[in-house]
Every structure is written in C-alpha cells, then in structure tokens.
A and B are shown apart, each in its own frame.
Chain A
Amino acid sequence: MERNAMKEHLKKMLGADQVLTEDLDLLYYSYDSSFLTKLQMSAPDTVVLPRSTEEVQKIMQFAYENRIPLTPRGAGTGETGGSAPMSGGIVMDLSSWDDIVEVDAANMQVTVRPGVIHSELNDHLAGFNLFFPPDPGSSKMCTIGGMVANNASGLRAVKYGCTEQYILGLEVVLPDGRVITTGGMKSKAIKNVSGLNITKLFVGSEGILGVITQVRLRLFPKPKGRGIVMAVFSELDDAPRAVLEVYRAGILPSGIEILDSSAIKAVNEFKPHINLPDAEAILLFEVDGNPPSVEWEGTTIVEIVSKFAQTVEWATEPDRMAALWEGRSVTAAAATRVRADGSRIFAGEDISVPLSGVADALRKIRALGKKHGIQVVNYGHIGDGNVHTAPIIDPENPEEVERALKLVDDIHLLAIELNGSTTGEHGVGAVRREYARLEHGDAVDMMQAVKNALDPHKIMNPGKVF
C-alpha cells in the first residue's frame, strides 16, 4: 500500500491525535536502549497509539490485509532493538494505554492494560499489601506489556522467578485481528491446567506472534521484613561456592548480587565515598519475609559465608541496608560515568550461565575484554547465573566500536560454550537472533512453524528472535 494512503487511512481510523505521520516524529521511534539502534537509524512509516482492544484489532486487520509490518512497543526501554522497526511499517506504541483495570485483592490478582509502568503498579498494589514480585532494573520506566513480551525478571528472580510465573491470562490480538483470551475466558482461578498453555506461548514472544492488550497477573503478599548481607571475597571462586552453601542450608534469598573487581573499581572511581574494599568480588544477599525468619536467614548466611569471605556484614536497619546496597545501586551509573570520554553500551549485556560456571564466565569475560582492548564492568544476579557485562567505550570512535562488537560476539559465544544462554532476561530482539540456530538447533524450525501458523504473512515484528 502506498505510504501516504496508509497514513491517511490510519488517521481516519483512530483520529489524528493517535497517529504520528510526520517524518521527524517517526525518527523518535527508531531506537530503544540497545547499542544497535545507536549505530543504525531505522524509522517506521507511521506510529499508532491505540487505547482500546477494538482499536488494536482494527489496526491489525488493516496491517494484515495490506501486508504491512507491525512492531509493538511499550516504553522502548529494551536493550535488544526488539521494539525498533527493522522493516519500516507501523510501530504500535502501547505505552499510553496504562489503565489498571481491576485489583482483585480477594483473589490475589490484578488486571492491567499493557502500558502500566511496573513500579507504578507496585506502588498502587502496596495499598492492598500485595505486590507483583519480578523486579527489573528498569522498574521505574518499563511497562507490564513489555515485561510480558520479554518475560522479564530482575534482582529477585532467585526467589520469585520471572514474569511468566505470574501470568494467569492474557488478552491477545492476533495478526489477523482475532482477539483471544488465554488462561480461561472467565477464569479467576490461580491454578489452571486446562488446555494447551497458550499463555506461555505469548510470554517472551517479543511481539512476533500478536499484540498483548490485557494482562491478568498473580500477586503475592508484600513481605514485612527485609535484610542485607554484604560479603567481601579475596578469591573470585569463593563467591559462587558461598552461594551454593547458602542454598544447601535450605535458604532461598530474594536476591544475590555480585560485583566483580571490575565493578568494584568502577564504583570506587565514580563515587569514592562508597569506598568498597579492594577485592575480587562482593556479594549482596537480600532476604525477605516475616521478621523472625529474615533474622534467622540473615544470621545463618553470615555464619556460612564467613567461612569463605574476608569480611561479612548483616543489616536490617534501613539506613545501613541502603549503605550496603549503595555499591550495587550505583553500578549501572558508574559503568556509564567511569570513563570521561566514553560510556557503557548495551550490547552483550545479558548472558546467563550455570551457577557453577559464574566465576569462570566472569574471568573469561575480563580476559576477552583485555584481548579486545575494551574495559568491561561485570555485575549481575549470581543467584541465578545471570551476568550483566557493560563494555565501556567511546561510542563515537568507529575503531573502538568495531572492537567492541567483536567482544560482544565473543561474549555471546562464550555463554553458549559454557552451557548457558545468550540472554537471561533481556531477550533476543534483533541483536541476538544470529545465535538462534547455535543455541536451539532444530528447535528453531518448530519456533518458525508456530510463527507461520499464527502470522502467515510475517507482518509481526520482522527481523527479531530467530
């Protein structure tokens, strides 16, 4: 279909205030947080901002009939180019559709539209003493729709898992415009094994199968107590050993974070007053629950970890917890600011390896950094083997960019070599699809078959996932 005719049709369909067509406005939809979209600018032909299922349905029918590529988008905070249009077409910005439809406190669930911001949802739920546990680092800006589409998790995945564990049902508009409700048309049940699990098919599907227009989430009671253990290690290998011993003692912390020597150095350079000890690794264990169990778990972790660590500290007092956590909370910013003429980039940032391979992975990533002459800052969720690597480069220096891209490729291959995955929680998007066959083998054919069944004209988010 001719580009201007498409724009005019969509304006008539939705009203001019819900459609962006000016070339300049479209440029703003060429990026997310990925380094890829800093290197290349690929804008859509039009942007639509629907705020009802019916509107989404009409747009999808139109795109389907006219074979127009369509890329769904939340807040555009992803790090994989997942919401950036690779083949033009329509970008569907769902971030302004942000209604909390119903908090069903009696049934421990909430129904939301896709544009609700994660932290704002939890602020709202706090009034009911409930919470939606997955806790991504982008909590203050990412949308629930984006979390579902990428099966996001975060700091507390150790204990609370990923988004998929909390999805009771979805409303999805399929590429041809049909609307389905997964998890039972009228169901308010928490347990439900009826039928094929279509819900999970859409969770983490990164917008290649349909558009999520409503989400029914399971909620947990908000824990009343919290405590932090900080442990400092002179040997990197002792850190994962300590984590394993804590698990063996029957304790499941809500989060276990690691800063390796590269992150410690970056934090101290960025904020000297934090003055983290010069060490090979620092672990932060977070425990939550009822105050007596928090106290028991915290003191038991101290007892166990002391066998491995140089120093260990346990805190439940809010100011002290904040002080202990400060090193972790500024790590991402430190990675951005540690080099005056450069910045971190979001690339090769999310590998996941077996717990037993975390120390090895960290060592090898640092060696790869040296090999390519690129400074790296490593931190992440050691409790589930998810390592975040921040290459620090001058992004405006083409030679450095080239070396960084080789490093990123090596990091992804390393993850597969270590029996891990190229991504633990951020997704594949456009930046990791080249590893699909290496990671999944012939299972990619099955993914392709599912995609073809639901989206025969391949209009949904082309150029992503596999």
Chain B
Amino acid sequence: MNLKEVPLLNEQLKKCVRCGRCRTVCPVLAEIKNETVAPRGHIFMVQALRDGKVKPDAQVYDRLSNCLLCETCSGVCPSGLDIPELNEYARSYIYEKNPSMIKDALFDSIWTRPSLLRAGGFFMWAANKSGLQGFARTLGLTKLLPGGLSKAEQIMHDPVMRTARATLPVINPPRGNKKFRVGYFLGCGTDLFSPSVAIAAVEVLTSWGCEVVIPDNMKCCGLPHIANGKISTAQDLAIHNLKVFNDLELDYIITDCGSCSSAISEKRLKMLLENQGYDEQIERFCSRVHDLNTFLLDIVGIDNQGLKPLNLKVTYHDPCHLAKAQGIRQAPRDILGLIPGLELIEMQDSDRCCGASGTFSITHYDLSMKILNRKMKTIADTGADVIATCCPSCTLQLKHGSNLHYNNTPVQHPVELLALAAGQES
C-alpha cells in the first residue's frame, strides 16, 4: 500500500484544521488526558506518516492503536473527516512493513475460516467447563499469556458450547405463509459468544413469516482485520461475502450486530474496495442489507400482538457502530417499547463507548476497563434488571463489567427480550 495513493487520505488529510473539537468527545482522551491520543493527533500522525516525517514502525502503530475507532470524533468533526478510517489505513500501511507471524496466523488463517474459529470457541468452552481455565488461573499460568491477554482472557468468562451455526440449520423455514426470504449475516461475535441472539432472531423472523437463510460459507465481516492492520484480508473477505450473498436469491439481508452492519454498509464497502470494480456488486448487496431492529419494524412491521408482559427494568446501551456510524438509535428502543410491562430507563450518555471495540479490550485491557467503569457507573444509576444492546462485542464487555461491578446483571439483545415476550423459552 502506498499511502500517497489512497484517495481517502489525499482528500481528507488536508481538511483537518486541528481545531480540537474531537478532543472533548474522545473516550480514550478522557482517560489518558494528553494529546498523543487525541483524534486530531492521530490525523497529524497519519499525515506525518504519509509525508515520510515518521517511520512506519511499531512505535507509530502503538500510538495509532490508542483509538477505539468508535466514530465519536467523526460525528462532531466540522471538517467531516472519517477519522477512524484514516487511522485504519495507516495501521495497515505500517503492518505491511512490519508483519507478524502470530497476527497473520490469527487474522489470515483462523479468522478467515469459520470452522477454525468455532473450534477455538469450543476449546474455550471446554477449558472453562473442565475447570482448566480456573485451574490455570489458580496456578497463575494465564499470567504467562503475552501482552494484555493474561487479563483479557477474563472477558471470556462464560464461553458457550454450541455456536449459533452449530445450532441453527442453513435454511430456517417460515411459520405460516412466507413473506420474505432473508439472508442472515451471522457475525463471528454472535456466532461464538452470543448464539442465543441468533436463535432469538431466527425465532422472531420465522414466526413473522420470514424464511431465514444462514449461508454456511459466509465469513467474517472484516472489521477486526481492518482494526488490526489487515485491510487486504478484509478486502478478500468482503469480496467473498459479496459473492456468497449475491449468488443467493434473497429479498433482504439482515444482521443483529451493529459492527457487522456498519462493516457491510455501502459507505464502508465502497471505501474498502474503492476503484476495484465492485461498485455494482456492492450496490446490489447493500440495497438489501438492514439492521435487524429496523428490518423488524420497518419491513416486517411487527407489533405487540401476542406478547406477554415482561416486568423488567431495562436500560439500553447504544453500540458505537450502530448509533454513531449508522445513526440507528431509535429502532432498538422501539423494539423494547413493544414489550408490555417492560420499562426502559435511559442511562446517562447511552452512546458513550463501553471500551470494548472488538479486539481493543484484549489489546488494551487496562485502558478498556477504565472506559468500561464509567459506563457501568451510569448503568448502575438506572437500577436496571437487564442491560440491552445490539453488539456482541459490547455484550461481552458489559457482561464482564456486570460480573465485576454489578451483580451479574444480564446483558441481552432487544430481540432476545422480544422472543422471550413472544414465548420463546429462555
């Protein structure tokens, strides 16, 4: 990659006037409190990198990685910069010049193969249930893990045995008359860590007349790769997934995960595959993509008929990639609002990042926990019985926070609560 030839960089870098508006909204800056983590600082560094004023080395990569890619800064930038995307290009540029075998193995060999990912998930479950994980912690063996992994492995405190793909068939027939044939873009996070969300989504969709197809050959949306300097792998994944879904006869494509829906949005895909001749395929694919919440409300037109009351106080956390990257804030709340007896209590700053941001909570565990602590305080203030959110990464993080600070309060997707109200066994 030549940074000087990336159109996004050439268009946008000159537009940063370093006004500093991004400083006051950045969750990382709120903790680290110096300019090296300011979003405009990242833009400054990307520019210095492009212009050859700094070397593309691990030190620059480390500085650029002090960013959640949460899009909060882009939302307030008067110059309209796509700050995280600029950062991502720079990370990939540096990574290409400083490749790592371990990272290549993880992101190219494992994270591009769903079967291997599922095997990894099963290993985590087995380690947990057999007592191996606890035993290793007691012996202090987890402390031998590299970097922040020794602490971050605690986030995976409750792995699941059967992934969503292992539980759900490829074709899930509708109940009653078929309204739509819907492709389910089942992300890795939901598949591995929150299969109950996928099961609930399929339950609700099929009961409302949707035939749900979960292609067994689809792969990761590529967002973890983009965040970790592997844009070229993300491009391969995107091209693969475009073909998989465009080859199927589908009326719509849905995803329950805010990060996936952001990664497979038209803006993102066109940026990722710019000038590579995929625009037509992207448009065909993206014209059918919907977030699960908005799909249920706007296309399927679900209502509260037949829902039993759930006497719960629920607070909703806005995932960054759903709320800030896509502006979807109301639909999840409206889904919750359908459920009789459910009381939605808004937390303060519901769209403040929880600190998860995919792999950030693993690579920057201590910092991530500081960001999470602020979130958990605002959640505790609501006195909610359930925390709702629409992102498996946020869900893992909030479960970890809930486990640490808040009596293991459950964290659920709105569609899980909807399915529960519709009579699905919990």
Name A's B-contacting residues (CB within 8 A).
20, 22, 24-25, 27-29, 31-33, 37-38, 41, 47, 49, 75-77, 93, 95-96, 117, 119-120, 138, 140-142, 332-333, 336-337, 340-346, 394-396
Contacts and interface: CB of A to CB of B under 8 A. Distances in A.
Contacts of B34: 20, 25, 28, 47, 49, 93, 95-96
A125 to B, nearest CB: 17
B15 A28 contact: no
Contact of B19 (A38, A49, A77): A77
B48 interface: yes
B54 A24 contact: yes
Nearest to A25: B36
B44 interface: yes
B216 interface: no
A396 B44 contact: no
B54 A337 contact: no
Interface stretch (B20-28, B98-106, B202-210): B20-28
Shortest Cβ-Cβ A-B pairs, 3 listed: A96-B33, A77-B20, A333-B78
Nearest to B80: A337
Nearest to B81: A336
B60 A24 contact: yes
A343 B79 contact: yes
B59 A342 contact: no
A75 B59 contact: no
Given A28-B41, A49-B34, A337-B15, A141 B78 contact: no
B15 A336 contact: yes
A33 B255 CA distance: 41
Given A25-B36, A49-B34, A343-B79, A141 B20 contact: yes
Contact of B14 (A37, A140, A141, A342): A342
Contacts of A28: 34-36, 38, 41, 44-45
A27 B59 CA distance: 13
Contacts of A342: 14
B24 A141 contact: yes
Contacts of A346: 17
Interface in B288-327: none
A140 B60 CA distance: 29
Interface string B3-15: 0000000010011
A29 to B, nearest CB: 6
Nearest to A397: B14
Contacts of A41: 53
Contacts of B35: 28-29, 76, 93
B18 interface: yes
B63 interface: yes
B78 A75 contact: no
Interface in B144-196: none
Nearest to B51: A396
A337 B78 CA distance: 9
Given A49-B34, A333-B80, A337-B79, A31 B18 contact: yes
Given A49-B33, A49-B34, A75-B23, A336 B17 contact: yes
Interface in B42-86: 44-45, 48, 53-54, 59-60, 63, 76, 78-80
A343 B78 contact: no
Nearest to A337: B80
Contacts of B21: 138, 140-141
B64 to A, nearest CB: 11
Contacts of A31: 18, 44
A395 B17 CA distance: 10
21 contacts: A20-B34, A28-B35, A28-B45, A32-B18, A33-B18, A37-B18, A47-B34, A75-B23, A77-B19, A77-B23, A95-B33, A96-B33, A96-B34, A120-B24, A138-B20, A141-B21, A141-B23, A333-B78, A336-B79, A340-B11, A343-B15
A112 to B, nearest CB: 16
Nearest to A31: B18
